Chain A
């Protein structure tokens, strides 16, 4: 396991953990803490999406469905009197299991998987809207804590974000990552080399679905009310895609950088309310058009250009 930490990564990771862990002791501004809470969840989601979308090249547009399943599981478990953390774990598992529904879409190459996920999200939303046992279209009211402190949520999200980053780092640096990359680059070549494509695609999908399920649970533990339209909102599936594209598709650091930038921009244009998606989709159109490698790719270029005259 430790072999995945080459050179400086380990130190960087430990320093980041300690710094972010101590932050709430220093910063008492609850807006900043809340923004970081959202940012951690976004980082988790975008790195999770990147495992199937960026690394394996199987673009999913409806990952919101796994987020929603995790979210609803947490709510139901919580309301039945168990601690939310068990709901979060169960939600991750259920999200992973429901991902298996998409296996038929892997039979053909190309865009079928993306369409399958979009479909699954839409249909699951309909199911939850018509399912009276979980509140139907009215939704579920969650227990409201008597004393409200933000810090526990902050630390939960931080733990989620760090564990996800570790998993992603492991996937990127291990043989698994190389295999997934090979599948993305050329499926035929990969299968000629003896890689069995389907199990690996399923594995990558399940990992990312579990990450989304847990992310949905962590987010829901902070909410007081959930309903199908907002829980299965396309934005939960599309936001992470945008973050990954913005930062750098298929790299490890890209989605993290993308999530940070997305959160910062998102908070500063919060007054746009519903037009936020319009704003982001225009940004993505421009990014795809003018810098298809994302921020990471261009930062590397920039660094190279700056460093070359020196050495």
Chain B
């Protein structure tokens, strides 16, 4: 999580990738499938807005990895749990889910504190593998508990406040998507500022660079661990709620979301917040293209191909250090 110096050649390559993939998609949508270019603009907007939510979820994951050096394999399930808790509380209090976001964040934050202090802290002493098993077992347990509590049905979190569509130059934008997108970007920037500017953020970065040295400098490693894990999980809850407002939540979606967020942080460079945002936007965009052109059955293959390609071409990711 050290402040990575983005390589400017890479950013150029990135913009090129954006342009090329969009050009190919444009060619297909407009000339091969005979649609208007308006529909293409629609695809780009929905792709980017989906990507913002992905980016937020991936930011949580990347913070957890940066500090604890473990990949939180329960991330997708915790996103869904956050979504369900928002749904539940907003129905219970009869308020708009938008106002429940902070409550959902706090609830998942507390759950994160519990997991980290009772389970991960001790498992981390036995090497790298036990925390992986632990996270995966937690994922399975959460998934089944959620099925028990809310059944495996697909739910939509309705937000009456932003349940409308606006037309901008003929492109229709769902207000829910737009608000989620803006909120996600703002939150990511806030987190980035928090990590780079505050004293606690400095502690996070110090531990991510060298755990022993940071401990010798008087940083309380276990408290920072708890903080990083809980913050990551809390962000996942917000992203999950947004996903529910834009698409849907279901306990069965957890594993796919986990793998997508992992693909995003691998693409963006593990440990980099900027990388998580850019990776999220790219994945959201490409998924939307592929979903429209090839078919929605192939959306999940995009994340796998991205993951494998990045590992082959540039294992450290776009913003990662070599």
Contact of A285 among B132, B134, B255 (CB under 8 A): B134
Determine whether the beta carbon of B255 is less than 8 Å from that of A122.
Answer: yes
Closest 8 interchain pairs by CB?
A278-B144, A281-B140, A281-B141, A281-B137, A284-B137, A119-B304, A104-B311, A292-B126
Determine whether the beta carbon of B259 is less than 8 Å from that of A107.
Answer: no
* Chain B residue contacts of A114, Cβ below 8 A: 73, 132
Chain B positions 97 through 117: 1 when the CB is less than 8 Å from some CB of chain A, otherwise 0: 000000000000000000000
Nearest CB to that of B297 among chain A residues? A130
Asked if A105 CB lies within 8 Å of chain B CBs, one says yes
Q: How far is the CA of A119 from the CA of B255 in the complex (A)?
A: 9
Nearest CB to that of B152 among chain A residues? A274
> Which residues of A pack against B, CB within 8 Å?
57, 59, 61, 101, 104-105, 107-108, 110-112, 114-116, 118-120, 122-123, 126-127, 129-130, 234, 238, 241-242, 245, 249, 274-275, 277-278, 280-282, 284-285, 288-289, 292
Determine whether the beta carbon of B304 is less than 8 Å from that of A120.
Answer: yes
Determine whether the beta carbon of B122 is less than 8 Å from that of A289.
Answer: yes
Question: Can you list 13 pairs linking A and B with CB atoms under 8 Å apart?
Answer: A104-B308, A111-B71, A115-B71, A116-B307, A119-B259, A119-B303, A123-B304, A126-B297, A126-B301, A275-B144, A277-B140, A284-B137, A289-B123
Shortest Cβ distance from residue A183 to the other chain B in the assembled complex, whole angstroms: 14
* Chain A residue contacts of B132, Cβ below 8 A: 59, 111, 114
* Chain A residue contacts of B303, Cβ below 8 A: 119
* Chain A residue contacts of B300, Cβ below 8 A: 122-123, 126
Further contacts, 10 of them, CB under 8 A, given A101-B308, A241-B136, A275-B148? A59-B132, A107-B311, A110-B128, A111-B128, A115-B259, A122-B300, A126-B300, A274-B147, A277-B144, A278-B141
Q: How far is the CA of A245 from the CA of B136 in the complex (A)?
A: 13
Determine whether the beta carbon of A288 is less than 8 Å from that of B137.
Answer: yes
Determine whether the beta carbon of B311 is less than 8 Å from that of A245.
Answer: no
* Chain A residue contacts of B144, Cβ below 8 A: 274-275, 277-278, 281
* Chain B residue contacts of A61, Cβ below 8 A: 73, 136
Determine whether the beta carbon of B256 is less than 8 Å from that of A112.
Answer: no
Looking at chain B's contact residues, the main secondary structure is helix
- Residues A105 and B298 in contact in the complex (CB < 8 Å), given A110-B128, A115-B71, A289-B123: no
* Chain A residue contacts of B266, Cβ below 8 A: 112, 115
Contact of B259 among A118, A127, A281 (CB under 8 A): A118
- Residues A288 and B123 in contact in the complex (CB < 8 Å), given A104-B311, A234-B255: yes
Q: How far is the CA of A49 from the CA of B311 in the complex (A)?
A: 24
Shortest Cβ distance from residue B211 to the other chain A in the assembled complex, whole angstroms: 15
Q: How far is the CA of A122 from the CA of B259 in the complex (A)?
A: 9
Most buried by A among B119, B126, B129: B129
Contact of A284 among B133, B145, B258 (CB under 8 A): B133
Q: How far is the CA of A108 from the CA of B259 in the complex (A)?
A: 17
Shortest Cβ distance from residue A130 to the other chain B in the assembled complex, whole angstroms: 5
* Chain A residue contacts of B118, Cβ below 8 A: 289
